[in-house]
Amino acid sequence: MREKSYNARGISGKVRLDLFLSRQDTDLSRTRIKSLIETGRITVNGETARPSRILRPGDRVRIVYPEPEPVEITPEPIALDVLYEDRHLIAVNKPPGLVVHPAAGHRSGTLVHALLHHCTELSGIGGVQRPGIVHRLDKGTSGVIVAAKDDRAHQGLARQFKEHAMSKQYRAVVYGVERPRSGVYRSSIGRHPLHRKKMASVHSGGKEAITRYRTLEDFGLLSYMELDLQTGRTHQIRVHLSESGHPVCGDPLYGGRRRLPRDADSKLAGLLKDLDRPALHAHRLRFDHPVNGEPVDLCAPIPADMQAILDRLRELKTKEGRS
């Protein structure tokens, strides 16, 4: 049985139990913390409590981690593009359209099913549905994703994600051209007040979200951007780009299904019409190996659908330069 204890000695003001723990090195999400509190696995001074309990200086909080449940997911022989692998972790280039872990509507054919077939063993910290999963990418987003094979690696990777110690670089094809060509998007992101499936920059109740951006290529109607995540909020890049007036191409949720002008190149228009996901790619991930401390630098090539759009945009730009 694994457990951790925390002393609330240094708190000031009214701090909720769930918020206090979300700020500690627990390796647990806010949702997971709430679940453990409600099932009595998190106690305050030896007594069960509610997530909203206000802590007092000196309170002792104890977490008793449940034993990993046996994974009942059937491994599936789904091909993986492995970028890095050792006995502690594995990193792959996730193709667009592949769901990361089982959920409602996706009980099979996920990255987890593929990893279990390839690795046979994954860290149990993520629970039955998410063994080995430390972070995730949206179904439509392609690129680098890393998973842990053992709990030590999982804890080390989770700590780096939580402390924003990882370098996470994305590439995107977007509408329009941002001015200035480089800068920082900064807002507080939370659930959209009207649309439950969307996130948005909000005035209260959100979490700080910071994205550094740089325009790599300017094509006029579209541009190719590089984005560095300083934080990791849900849909962060898609929200920031949409709210700046430059939604990711192919993103129906955040306005990326715009039409090009009627006189636009028909081949380019066809490529955009056929794009069935946001043109967003997790291009590079850099971190320290969670066990041996060595630097790991992983890069995934731009996928075919995005590359085809970029190739056509470059052809058109070259033609314009000659005319």
**Which residues form the catalytic set?**
138
How distant, in Å, are the alpha carbons of 138, 201, 230, 232, 303 from that of 162? Answer: 19, 21, 11, 9, 28
Q: Evaluate whether 271 touches 236 at the Cβ level (below 8 Å).
A: no
Which residue do the tokens 């549905």 mark? 129
246 contacts 174 by C-beta, under 8 angstroms: yes
What is the identity of the amino acid at 210? I
The span from the CA of 97 to the CA of 39, in Å, is 35
d(CA 157, CA 146): 9
Question: CB neighbours of 230 closer than 8 A, spacing ≥ 6?
Answer: 164, 210, 211, 212
CA neighbor of 163 nearest in space, from 264, 294, 272, 26: 26
Amino acid at the residue 1 = M
Nearest in space to 148 (alpha carbons), one of 107, 62, 88: 88
Do 312 and 267 meet the contact criterion of CB atoms below 8 Å apart? yes
> Are 251 and 278 a contacting pair, CB within 8 Å?
yes
